[in-house]
Amino acid sequence: MPVYVPAHMGDGPEILRDIRRILRQNPKGLSISDISRKVGLNRNSVAKYLEMLLISGQAEMRTYGAAKVYTASQRLPISALLEYSSDLIVVLDDEARVLQINAPFLSFSGMKKEDLLGTPVTSSGLPIITTPLVLSVLEDRPIGEVVVPEVAWGDESIFRAKILPTTFEEGGHGTTIILEDLTEMKKTWRVRTFLANIVESTEDAVIGKDLDGKVVSWNQGAERLYGYTSHEMMGQTLDRLVPPEKKDEIQTVQEEIEVGRSIDRLETVRFRKDRSRVDVAISVSPVRDEGGRVVGASTIARDISTQKHAEEEQRLHTEETAFLSRTAMAFVEMEDDDEIFGFIGRQIQTLLPDAAVVVSSYAREEGEFSVEAVMESEGEDEGRAHGLYGGHYPMTPEIRAYGESRLYEKVSLPGYPAAEMRYGGEGHMYAPLISHETFLGNVVVLADQGEVTRKRAVIEAFIRQSAVALHRRHARLALKRSRERARTLLDASFDLVVLTNPEGEVLAVNERAGRFFKRTGKNEAGPLYAALDGMQEGVLREGRPAKSEVRACGKIFEVSMTPVRVVDGTVHEVATFFRDITLEREAQEESRRTNRQLADIIEFLPDATVVVDAAGQVVAWNRAMEEISGVRKEAIIGEGGHAYAVPFYGERRPVLLDLVGTGDAPPPGYLQFERLGDTVVGSAYCPAAKRGAGVHVWGKATALFDDTGERIGAIEAVRDIGPLVEADMALRRSEEEYRALVEQASSVILSLDPEGRVLFLNAFAEQCFGYTREEVIGRDVVGLITPEVESSGRDLRALVHSICTAPEQFQTCENETVTRDGRRLWFSWTNHAVYAPDGRLKGVTCIGNEITERRDLERALESARHDLKSVVQVLAQAAADHLVVRPGEIEPAATPPEEIRAALKKGTPVRDESEEGEQRWYIPLTDWGGEGPAVLAVVLPLSEQARGCESSQKKVL
């Protein structure tokens, strides 16, 4: 087999051959010491060579105690080993020519071995190894193993290439290339990744476990269902999820899996991490290896708590419906002399077997209850409630207050004997028997409150059913006891009452109806009879009451027709009530006329106005509202449900008129909101107004009342304040721009109040005087920025006081200031008064520019002017002649005029001397008599005779 020998080991190949030869000659084996003596090398060197032989498979080692014995390897030669490998292998010599190639590589390439041996790899045409990636590695002649993780060939084939430097037995060098086909592994990996993503993203819990029951996979669905993370469950059994009563279930599932059978669906219960129970449906399938052996199981669990709850709800609903149907039929079939209170108690005890039930009737005339039935359960408390039977107790305010509801739990009922008992539970339940606002009795149940809570709905339904049955029984008994009394009551009714049979024959009428039909002719009552015939046909067909409105005999009647049933449920009679609602309808019509008049009044109001009635329906929508909303009044009048908000906000929502008289907070979007008694005002931006253009509006809404003080509606006026808002926004922008301008100005800007305190200074002022804004605001400017007294002695406090109280008289001024470090600076100020809206002086804004340098220059100029005047006076006394001319009028004696003018321009005096010895001085003047630049020409004679010349003349320009 080829052996890689590092280059630094020199004669390594010869020594390796010697060691192999010695090992073959000593088949029983040799120790390192033995081999060291035979080859003449030290033990460490021999050990390194033996390690190379061991790695290359050419030597073997056995251990006997602490001794290591080495023998020659009995393995197959490399040519044989190549054929046993499924990888594609090719061996190249040191010239990169094909030395050996195995059969799998030949099969893959479709080439013949004899055509390849001795062929350079670059021209061999062999697939994969002739790719640029592999060839680049071969060209670098690697000194160690190089692995190319992926080499693609064709559209789908992928190989891993191992390139190994190789040393042959005879000492030659070469390279071995091993190509491992990863194609199927990659495909499998992609499929497994795809399947894993499906499993991981599914809502169901998917759990994998081995044959020992230990979890090997746990998806996110399992985390959501059971509350355990994958980290917590990996390598653990599912015992922690299984309730004690379900332990045998796990063993059964395990046995089925081990024999290769699946569990299609098993509905069971499991624990979550918080130990709460969850109903699940699990499906378990065996997982097999490539040989078909069962190596584990895959469990899919789905939360069916909602389904179970729905099934339980359906079961309870079915049972309760059957119970109520049965009891309803029993009440219907019950004779008047049957014991109804005992029946009520027995049925409640059917629902609550461990409860004691006390049922009482109520006599309104006496104002007291009587215990009519007592039901007890068997047990240690038996007999405690039985002593209540036949007892009486009064109606109390507490019991009357409880009568406003159908069912109370754990209530306090002072004076009621059963309320003092604690019968097998934590308290008692009180249920009044009320029907049609009639107090007929009550039921007190001594039971466990948890059971009462679970069956509350059916108990309430049965209590209502019982109350209705009691009420019907009372009604029947009352009718039997006093038909005349009933007749009197009917006669006293303001309605017309007619009792007919199903065929339409009149059985009875009250007095008011008798008088009406007696004085009304048949022709006049014709429409009324026709309407009654149609209504009665519908009532008999539907078996339900009906109501209608009929115009007849010059009146408007509200007709109510009710079927009267007998015990078997058939309609025995039909009771018809006629209520004269003529005046009511006339009042409604009058109200509508009033509303129309109100609408006419507000139609031409300048503000957009809407009026709604007490029901929130629009009754007025003026022209201005049509203009701002874009909705015609015909489309909105009569609409309710906040329809008037849609043209403004694009949705139905409360507006100002909905907030009148309420304590509700305004909905989002109001920029300003205020309550003033029964009036609210506010402003908001309405994006949908003006057909989606949007507008800012101000609104005012108030309640409308009738003569009796009853509220009949509300009115809201809306005004477009868009121009005002835009002006305000423009003002704000202007203020922001002004503030930015002030902060960026290169002048000092101060704001002072009438007392001379600093209200504001800009950033330039901070830099100028060395103070921060926080240090100056609120302080007196005198003594801080302005000194008390100027260097010249002027009183600056008086000046500042005059500026702050009468700024119009000091619109400009100049004065000295002082910086934080004591420097004196001169500033020129422009002062502007600031007034409040009421005309009161709020302060003054001072804008200043430093003029210290200018003042210094002016003083220097003034000094120079004085000096010049002095020089002129001296020269005038000494000069024979002097005059002032313009620079262009200079006529020198000897010096060129341009040279003199250049010097004068620089401000340098020039001397010029004539041939006769006369001196002329030219002195530059910045300004002379306000006429601009000039030159003073002075003539100085050198002799006494010159002094006697005639007087000089002076010319001033």
Question: What's the CATH number where 294 sits?
Answer: 3.30.450.20
Say whether both 681 and 820 belong to one domain: no
In a domain, 770, yes or no: yes
533-554 mean pLDDT: 81
If you average pLDDT over each of 177-186, 291-300, 416-425, which comes out highest? 291-300
Say whether both 790 and 811 belong to one domain: yes
pLDDT reading at 327 higher than 80: yes
In a domain, 738, yes or no: no
pLDDT of residue 424: 47
Say whether both 332 and 423 belong to one domain: yes
Rounding to the nearest 10 degrees, give the CA dihedral for residues 288, 290, 293, 299: -10
In a domain, 826, yes or no: yes
pLDDT, one tens digit per residue, over 646-699 is 999 889 999 988 888 888 888 887 888 888 877 899 988 898 888 888 888 989
Confidence of residue 813 (pLDDT cuts 50, 70, 90): very high
Helix (H, G, I), strand (E, B) or coil at 722: helix
Say whether both 54 and 99 belong to one domain: no
- Out of 670, 695, 726, a domain closes at 726
177-202 mean pLDDT: 71
In a domain, 311, yes or no: no
pLDDT of residue 827: 92
CA–CA dist 771, 785 (Å, integer): 9
pLDDT above 70 covers a percentage of the chain that reads: 83
Residue in 583, 582, 576 with CA at minimum distance from that of residue 493 = 576
CA–CA dist 84, 167 (Å, integer): 21
Which stretch of DSSP H or E encloses residue 684?
A: strand 679-686
CA–CA dist 926, 908 (Å, integer): 12
Question: Sign (positive/negative) of CA torsion 663, 664, 670, 671?
Answer: positive
pLDDT above 90 covers a percentage of the chain that reads: 11
pLDDT of residue 165: 85
pTM of the model: 0.32
pLDDT of residue 756: 92
Say whether both 570 and 644 belong to one domain: no
Say whether both 468 and 487 belong to one domain: no
Confidence of residue 202 (pLDDT cuts 50, 70, 90): confident
pLDDT, one tens digit per residue, over 559-611 is 888 887 765 667 778 888 888 888 888 887 887 787 677 667 778 788 889 99
pLDDT, one tens digit per residue, over 412-426 is 555 565 555 554 445
386-391 mean pLDDT: 70
CA–CA dist 8, 322 (Å, integer): 99
Say whether both 352 and 440 belong to one domain: yes
Contacts 24+ apart (CB under 8 A), 326-335: 327/462, 327/465, 327/466, 328/465, 331/465, 331/466, 331/468, 331/469, 331/472, 332/567, 332/568, 332/569, 333/567, 334/469, 334/473
Please give the mean pLDDT across all residues of the chain: 80
Number of domains in the chain: 8
In a domain, 954, yes or no: no
Residue 431 structure tokens? 């249920």
pLDDT reading at 274 higher than 90: yes
Q: What CATH number has the domain bearing residue 38? A: 1.10.10.10
In a domain, 255, yes or no: yes
Task: Give me the count of residues in the chain.
Answer: 957
In a domain, 314, yes or no: no
pLDDT, one tens digit per residue, over 139-156 is 878 877 888 888 888 777
Say whether both 148 and 251 belong to one domain: no
Confidence of residue 199 (pLDDT cuts 50, 70, 90): low
- Out of 124, 155, 185, a domain closes at 185
Residue in 894, 870, 886, 883 with CA at minimum distance from that of residue 951 = 883
In a domain, 163, yes or no: yes
Say whether both 355 and 433 belong to one domain: yes
- Out of 453, 480, 507, a domain closes at 480
CA-to-CA dists, residue 445 to 286, 355, 360, 391, 454, angstroms: 55, 6, 12, 17, 14
Residue 395 structure tokens? 């109606």
pLDDT reading at 191 higher than 70: no
Which stretch of DSSP H or E encloses residue 846?
A: strand 841-850
Say whether both 488 and 472 belong to one domain: no
The 8-class DSSP code of residue 887 comes to G
**How many C-beta atoms lie closer than 10 Å to residue 235's C-beta?**
11
Confidence of residue 83 (pLDDT cuts 50, 70, 90): low
Contact 341, 427 (CB under 8 A): no
pLDDT of residue 623: 87
pLDDT reading at 456 higher than 50: yes
**810 or 167, higher pLDDT:** 810
Contact 787, 796 (CB under 8 A): yes
pLDDT reading at 854 higher than 60: yes
pLDDT of residue 509: 80
CA–CA dist 200, 66 (Å, integer): 54
Contacts 24+ apart (CB under 8 A), 424-428: 424/354, 424/355, 424/356, 424/377, 424/379, 424/381, 424/448, 425/355, 425/449
pLDDT of residue 779: 93
If you average pLDDT over each of 426-430, 449-453, 873-877, which comes out highest? 449-453
> Which residues constitute the domain of residue 829?
745-850
Contacts 24+ apart (CB under 8 A), 91-94: 91/2, 91/166, 91/174, 91/175, 91/176, 91/177, 92/121, 92/138, 92/174, 92/175, 92/176, 92/177, 93/172, 93/173, 93/174, 94/172, 94/173, 94/174
Residue 931 structure tokens? 């006429």
Instruction: Using the structure block, give the residue that is written with the tokens 């009639």.
Output: 438
Say whether both 245 and 148 belong to one domain: no
Say whether both 627 and 671 belong to one domain: yes
